[in-house]
Structure 1
Amino acid sequence: MGLSLQQFAMVAGAHLLALLSPGPDFFLIARSALLRGWRKTGAVCFGIACANGVFIALAVGGFAALHRHGVAFALVQAAGCAYLFYLGVLMLRHARAASIAAHVQDDSPASKTGAWPTRFAMGFASAILNPKNALFYASLFALLAARDAPFGAQIVYGVWMFAAVFGWDLLVAMGIGHPAVVARFTRHGAAIERVTGVVLLAIATSVLTMLAREWR
């Protein structure tokens, strides 16, 4: 089975909604953009994207290796579905508006560092040390594997996700200096989290149902 547009839309949609939900990386970008401008924040964004790329590569490679072990593979897929289900419930129960101002500290030493490698390392460390990133990608690629997505298609999805993370983070950095953009994002933050929660629940339920049919 080749690259499916329907499958790509599902993966890209879930990934985009997850990006829209504010987390530690989002607030790091916001702080850096407000204090140093979006151009210098580009290094932070690239560091975050590279860390996501590491998780994507590990997920793709790991599931390619696991594919030949039927029971272990099915257990990992089920665990991935369970995590996405848990994440969806969590977003629905605790959806709230994001307060950017509360996360911006003018005296933050990390935000005032000027060298490009330092800002890159700051972004990379923020994303690579966040266990939710690892679990999210592992879960998403477990679902792709459950749908028999070929290795080549998973590579395409991975490249897309890397580009989406970097592009979205740059957009956040550029838009964060506009009060209207910040106000709108803050106002609709809870709704974004609820929609993300519903989508993750739907994907997890769909794949768990498919796995259950296969193992009857």
Structure 2
Amino acid sequence: MLTQFVTIGLLMLLSAMLPGPDFALVTKNTILHSRRMGIFTSLGIGSAILVHITYCVLGLAVIISQSILLFSIIKFIGAAYLIYLGINALLARHADTSVAPQSGSIQKTKMSELIAFRQGFFCNLLNPKATLFFLALFTLIIKPETSLGWELVYAIEMFIIITAWFCCLTILLSHRRVLRLLNKIEKYIEKTMGVFLIGFGVALAFVKK
């Protein structure tokens, strides 16, 4: 069980570190809004992980992976959502930041915690690649005979690792010195993240089981 615990932890960390929609979304919300919004986006992603784990434990992941219809529905909804987020970033006027008249410091318009959480949640939940990843995890590493207690331990471990990684990324990106550099190219970052999200959405639409 200890070997499984360590293996799952490493796999989750490596999968989180790979550039993808979650990475792009956390980066966008942190830089263009605030550290707090990045944290709530990270919590949304972590909560979606718990949903993936739940339906894997219930055996629904196998049904989804074997059903062309269900897989396609999730795939195209997820692709459309990413493309929607990307287009919004591309079309947004560069008014997310303004200069305060008294201090001369950059102030950013607020995104609500609910919106940040919701974006992170659906970005991860509607990614069929995540479904296939957890299906493989629960097939190859977490065996069917694994007790419910250990499955709960693994679920908590995966939630903590994913959420902690993206929170650490948020803290790094929102560090004062980093932000000072990023603020100079903020409008380009917004457009770049928009392109990435659209690209991930298009790529997701062509994913095969």
* TM-score, structure 1 as length reference: 0.57
Letter matched to residue 171 of structure 1 = L
Mark the CA change 1:143 to 1:187 in structure 2 (over 3 Å): closer, same or farther: closer
Give the structure with the higher percent helix.
Answer: 1
RMSD: 4.3
Deviation digits for residues 32-55 of structure 1 (CA, Å, limit 9, x no counterpart) = xxxxxxxxx6xx765554444223
The 10-residue stretch of structure 1 (190-199 or 45-54) with the greater mean CA deviation from structure 2: 45-54
Matched, 1:138 2:125: yes
The 10-residue stretch of structure 1 (8-17 or 57-66) with the greater mean CA deviation from structure 2: 8-17
**Identity value in percent:** 8
Mark the CA change 1:198 to 1:127 in structure 2 (over 3 Å): closer, same or farther: closer
Deviation digits for residues 94-151 of structure 1 (CA, Å, limit 9, x no counterpart) = 42465442599x9xxxxxxxxxxxxxxx9865544x2x333222122x4233354213
**Any residues of structure 2 matched to 1:1-216 within 5 Å, and which?**
12-14=18-20, 15-22=22-29, 28-29=33-34, 49-67=42-60, 70=63, 74=67, 75-91=69-85, 93-94=87-88, 95-96=90-91, 99-102=95-98, 125=114, 127-128=116-117, 130=118, 132-140=119-127, 142-146=128-132, 148-151=135-138, 158-175=159-176, 178-206=179-207, 209-210=208-209
Secondary structure at the aligned position of 1:13 is classed as: coil
Residue 175 of structure 1 contacts residue 181 of structure 1 at CA under 8 Å; is this kept in 2?
no
Letter matched to residue 55 of structure 1 = A
What residue is the counterpart of 1:37 in the other structure?
A: none
Size of the alignment, in residue pairs?
A: 173
User: What CA distance in whole angstroms lies between the structure 1 residues aligned with 2:38 and 2:17?
Assistant: 22
Mark the CA change 1:64 to 1:185 in structure 2 (over 3 Å): closer, same or farther: farther
Deviation digits for residues 159-186 of structure 1 (CA, Å, limit 9, x no counterpart) = 5431232012212331478443212132
Letter matched to residue 78 of structure 2 = L
User: What CA distance in whole angstroms lies between the structure 1 residues aligned with 2:40 and 2:87?
Assistant: 31
Gaps of 5+ in 2: 1-6, 103-110, 143-153
Instruction: State the Cα distance separating 1:18 from its structure 2 match.
Output: 2.7
Mark the CA change 1:93 to 1:59 in structure 2 (over 3 Å): closer, same or farther: same
Mark the CA change 1:72 to 1:16 in structure 2 (over 3 Å): closer, same or farther: closer
User: What CA distance in whole angstroms lies between the structure 1 residues aligned with 2:82 and 2:39?
Assistant: 27
What residue is the counterpart of 2:151 in the other structure?
A: none
User: What CA distance in whole angstroms lies between the structure 1 residues aligned with 2:60 and 2:167?
Assistant: 30
User: What CA distance in whole angstroms lies between the structure 2 residues aligned with 1:194 and 1:56?
Assistant: 25
Instruction: State the Cα distance separating 1:86 from its structure 2 match.
Output: 0.7
Gaps of 5+ in 1: 31-40, 107-121, 211-216
